Amino acid sequence: ASILRPQRVSAGGKRVRFDAVTVYYFPRRQGFTSVPSQGGSSLGMARHHSSIRSFTLGEFSRERESKHRLTLQQHLRLEKLQQRKMKLTRNGTVQCAQADLLTLEDVSDEDLDVDGVEVDDCFFLQPLPTKRRRALLRASGVARIDAREKAELRNIRLSREECGCDCRLYCDPKHCGCSQAGIKCQ
């Protein structure tokens, strides 16, 4: 989480300028507050921050671009690895022991065209697969991942598939689920 600190407000009160960014870092925890599109183990954060760091606007911008560039590099490396595996297996149609042995370390920095991509054009908040979320939680010190969340999340996703009521031409408040829930008939 980051907070911009106002520098000053002009006499008319219509302009605000910022001179610093304060970033609060929170330890990762199992979420129970978000609903990933698949699987369980949602990501969350602890109630209290573990550290604080202040930046000038320029420092923050450079820091963020550096992190985004690293994320982009990792993404491009993974893409290149998948391309190589698909080429060796003829788009997954044949088995290839060499493809099974390839790892991210087999993709060098020279194989990546990071300079050809504008970092700001990339979207960095991508959904993470369940396996990756679980690995992040374990790496953050979560010893036991609560399995109950998986069932809760599945039930929430199922409930979101069904919305509204069965009313067709007119609404009968006695049988309308929307009306009974205190909302306008859908």
**Mind listing the pLDDT tens digit for each residue in 87-103?**
888 887 888 888 888 88
**DSSP run (H or E) holding 158:** helix 148-161
Half-sphere exposure of residue 86: CA atoms within 13 angstroms, side-chain side: 7
Q: How far apart are the first and last CA of the chain?
A: 37
Least confident of 17-26, 43-52, 87-96, 136-145: 87-96
Least confident of 9-13, 20-24, 107-111, 143-147: 9-13
Q: How far is CA 185 from the centre of its chain?
A: 34
Largest Cα span, the chain: 72
CA pair distance 113, 150, nearest whole angstrom: 38
Q: Give the best-scoring range by mean pLDDT among 41-45, 91-95, 114-118.
A: 41-45
Bridge partners, 9 (sequence order): 16
DSSP-derived secondary structure letter, 184: -
Residue 7 pLDDT greater than 80, yes or no: no
Percent residues over pLDDT 90 in the chain? 26
Q: Residue 134 has what pLDDT?
A: 92
Q: Residue 126 has what pLDDT?
A: 75
Pairwise pLDDT comparison (66 vs 52), residue with the higher score: 52
pTM exceeds 0.95: no
Please write the tens of the pLDDT for every residue from 166-178: 888 888 888 888 8
Least confident of 10-14, 18-22, 59-63, 115-119: 10-14
**Phi/psi zone of residue 137: left (φ > 0), alpha (ψ -120 to 50 degrees), beta?**
alpha
| Closest alpha carbon to 53 in 43, 63, 44 | 63
Residue 137 pLDDT greater than 90, yes or no: yes
* Residue 68: exposure state from Cβ atoms within 10 A (0-12, 13-18, ≥19): middle
Q: Residue 11 has what pLDDT?
A: 62
Reading the block at residue 45, the tokens are: 């954060």
Q: Residue 46 has what pLDDT?
A: 92
Q: How far from 91 is each of 78, 80, 82, 84, CA to CA, in Å? A: 16, 14, 10, 10
Report the sign of the C-alpha dihedral through residues 125, 6, 48, 64, in that order: positive
Q: Residue 4 has what pLDDT?
A: 66
CB 162 within 8 A of CB 72: no
Name the phi and psi angles at 146, rounded to 5: -70, 115
CA pair distance 124, 107, nearest whole angstrom: 21
